[in-house]
Amino acid sequence: GAGVSQSPSNKVTEKGKDVELRCDPISGHTALYWYRQSLGQGLEFLIYFQGNSAPDKSGLPSDRFSAERTGGSVSTLTIQRTQQEDSAVYLCASSLWTGLSNQPQHFGDGTRLSIL
């Protein structure tokens, strides 16, 4: 079956503009994660959705960042009034949820965001 799909793959925008990044998880995966990866760095957790539970937003760096997940499937990450420090690769991952233990996460190829 299809893997995690992210769009766009690249996005260049001017400072101050809003951007929307999209993630289509693997069908049947109830857990969905957003991460940010700066050049040569590891992954920084942003937000986590699990089923109908309230999302864990503890990793969002500022109130300019928000995310939603409609119908328990597709998710969008929105960054308002973008700043140059927002430039990074934004990765989405999904996984099965057993409620007992962590499951391997399946990643999309990311959206490379460049703020001019």
Partner 1 sequence: SQQGEEDPQALSIQEGENATMNCSYKTSINNLQWYRQNSGRGLVHLILIRSNEREKHSGRLRVTLDTSKKSSSLLITASRAADTASYFCATDTPNDYKLSFGAGTTVTVRA
Binding site for partner 1 (CB under 8 A): 4, 31, 33, 35, 40-45, 48, 50, 56, 59, 91, 93, 101-102, 104-110
Comparing CB distances to partner 1, the nearer of 14 and 42 is 42
Tell me the closest approach of the beta carbon of residue 113 to partner 1, in angstroms. 14
Tell me the closest approach of the beta carbon of residue 88 to partner 1, in angstroms. 14
- Both tokens of residue 113? 């965001």
Comparing CB distances to partner 1, the nearer of 11 and 108 is 108
Comparing CB distances to partner 1, the nearer of 14 and 99 is 99
DSSP labels for 65-112? Answer: EEEEEGGGS-EEEEE-S--GGG-EEEEEEEE---SSS----EE---EE
Comparing CB distances to partner 1, the nearer of 27 and 58 is 58
Tell me the closest approach of the beta carbon of residue 102 to partner 1, in angstroms. 5
Tell me the closest approach of the beta carbon of residue 38 to partner 1, in angstroms. 10
Q: Which of 67, 47, 65 minimizes the C-alpha distance to 57?
A: 47
